[in-house]
Amino acid sequence: MARQADERAAAPRASAAPLRRPGPALLGGTRILAAAGECSVEALRPGDRVVTRCRGMAVVRAVHRVRLAPGAAVVRIPAGALGRGRPERDVDLLPSQPVVLRDWRARALFGTAEARVAAARLVDGRVIRLAPGDGAAAFAVVLDVGLVLMGEGLELVSAAPDAVSAPGR
């Protein structure tokens, strides 16, 4: 336990490495389910453990701050728009953020029992909408592979190591 605390203290807060391609990154303030309980995505550090749907706990390898264009659009999903407690509160996601659907929506919209879809594909213009972003930073949570994190009552896909450029590239 003390070793993990020492590793966290020595770990950098977040690098500013750019994404190689648009992909999983969560806006600041998004709450993620971690071993220590819920925490905001920007509070995660390398070495922390997060709850994943398929593999139980996974170790955070890196957290990269993602530069967003000023006024970049977000997908606004109201509390309960995807079912009871999904999401738990109003949440904004980047349009490219993959969300896992595992209910009638996956079957009706995509013809499968489970679908990983970019948040932008959920926009219906009535309930789930595109909205101007408020300038919040985004953070790519990097695990060993892209796994499904639990965030705000939604299943959200994490970044994989190949999605982020090393600093200086």
- pLDDT range class, residue 8, cuts 50, 70, 90: very low
pLDDT number for residue 111: 93
Structural Rg of the chain based on CA atoms: 16
pLDDT number for residue 134: 85
Please spell the DSSP secondary structure of the chain, one letter per residue. -HHHHHHHHHS-S-B-PPBSSS---EETT-EEEETTEEEEGGG--TT-EEEETTTEEEE--EEEEE---TT-EEEEE-TTTTSTTSSSS-EEE-TT-EEEE-SHHHHHHHSSS-EEEEGGGG--SSSSEEEE-----EEEEE-SS--EEEETTEEEEPBPGGGBPPTT-
- pLDDT range class, residue 7, cuts 50, 70, 90: very low
Nearest 10 degrees: CA dihedral of 121, 122, 127, 129? Answer: -40
- pLDDT range class, residue 67, cuts 50, 70, 90: confident
pLDDT number for residue 166: 46
pTM for this prediction: 0.81
- pLDDT range class, residue 146, cuts 50, 70, 90: confident
